[in-house]
Amino acid sequence: MPDRRLPLYWATGLVGLAGGFLASKVGWPLPWMVGSLLAIILVRCLSPWQLSEIPNGRKCGQWIIGVGIGLHFTPLVIEQVASHFVLIFFGALLTTVSSIVGVWLLRRSGEDRPTAFFASMPGGSGEMVNLGARNGAVLSQVAAAQSLRVLAVVLSVPALFKLLLGDGPTLHHSGTVSWPWLALITPLALLSALLWQRLRQPNPWLFGPLLVTAVVSLISDQQLSLPDGASQIGQWLIGSGLACHFNRAFFRRAPAFLGRTLVATALSMGIAATAAWGMASLTGLDVRSLTLGMMPGGIAEMSLTAETLQLSVPLVTALQVMRLLFVLFLAEPLFRVWQRSGD
């Protein structure tokens, strides 16, 4: 039983570590994220302990992962990704358009237009809640749908990849740990996150560090990587933070709404996987990287999965970022056109 004299988030961290350790021992994909996520959700749902989020823990995890993702962006890799820009553009567009399935399902169950629309868009939870607030959506349902979508993708995609596709051909990022370079990059990444946050840009603690690290990595043209254990710490912090959005009340609230959200997520994942298979057949690119890049999950989580499975992290990240840009810039104008149409 956690010591009541200590803040409850200490117990959150310990439960998350225990879950991550157990998941790593049984060989679960992305173990330190998925294990900590499941362990904390189980404690919050099956016991009276409502474990609280580690202060700034998820931000710190995103900062670490943002640096790790950015280190994959070498000139050679960027050249390869840029040569497939048209494919990335249309792949991300297709992923965005597939969210219409979710809108249709929620409208069929009686949800109002704003709630159905912004609950189904595959963007960040915070950004979709803000857009929904400006357009009259039920914010609790928008937040619930966005959180559940990311949870479903994080829990299912790594396991399905390992089960159905195996390890497949490995796309190595053979980086070395350079402490002088990391001593330069990590504080710059922190400052960029704070600046991105001050400018009220989306997902600042991931995008800020990612952009700065990618620029430094491209300029230096060195194969760099984070030290052993850094990625696992990032996974643990992100998984622990995400888990604190779920408890018994969450799953009891509007179960039909949550069920339709899960169905819509599954259909979107199926559409993404089918489209990725078709694109891989036409281009010869790795079908696993394309599939992961088109999944309707969070950028940090999907990029982490790519790194853990040793896939093309820049390709996955490019697809995910392009999709987020589509959603952020097109969702609200398209919704207002839909509202004016009266259909």
pLDDT tens across 106-147, in order?
Answer: 998 888 999 999 999 987 777 888 888 889 998 888 888 988
The backbone torsions φ and ψ at residue 176, rounded to the nearest 5 degrees and listed phi first, read -115, 155
Neighbours of 267 (CB within 10 A): 16
Give first-to-last CA distance, the chain, whole Å.
56
CA distances from 154 to 115, 157, 181, 333 (A): 23, 6, 31, 29
199 is a domain residue: yes
243 is a domain residue: no
SS3 202: coil
Residues with Cβ < 8 Å from 126, sequence gap 6 or more? Answer: 202
The amino acid present at 208, given as its one-letter code, is G
44 is a domain residue: no
The amino acid present at 101, given as its one-letter code, is V
Counting as low any pLDDT under 50, the low residues of the chain are 1-3
Determine the pLDDT at residue 59: 93
Determine the pLDDT at residue 308: 79
CA distances from 175 to 68, 138, 213, 221, 236 (A): 11, 46, 14, 11, 22
Domain count for the chain, please give it: 1
20 is a domain residue: no
Determine the pLDDT at residue 343: 59
41 is a domain residue: no
- Residue 170's domain spans which residues? 71-237+248-341
61 is a domain residue: no
Determine the pLDDT at residue 126: 74
28 is a domain residue: no
Determine the pLDDT at residue 43: 94
184 is a domain residue: yes
Q: Is the dihedral of CA 113, 99, 156, 209 positive or negative?
A: negative
